[in-house]
Amino acid sequence: MAIGDYPAEYNPKIHGPYDPARYYGKPDTPFSQVKLKEIGQWISRRNKSPQAIVGAFSRAYWRWSHKYVQPKRVTIAPVLHIITGSMLFFYVLNYGKFKNHRTQKYH
Supply the pLDDT for residue 1.
60
In what helix (H) or strand (E) does residue 102 lie, and over which residues does it extend?
Answer: none
Q: Are 97 and 90 in contact (CB under 8 A)?
A: no
Q: pTM to 2 decimals? A: 0.76
Which pLDDT value is given to residue 107? 62
Report which of 105, 20, 32 is spatially closest to residue 70, judged by C-alpha positions.
20
Task: Please identify every stretch of the chain with a pLDDT value under 50, giving residue numbers as ranges.
Answer: none
> What pLDDT score does 99 carry?
83
Q: What is the pLDDT of residue 3?
A: 76
Contact present, 24 and 9 (Cβ < 8 Å): yes
* Distance in angstroms (rounded) separating the CA atoms of residues 88 and 81: 11
Domain extents in the chain: 12-100
Distances (CA, A) of 21 to 88, 95, 103: 25, 34, 46
pLDDT at 101: 76
Please tell me the predicted confidence (pLDDT) of residue 82.
96
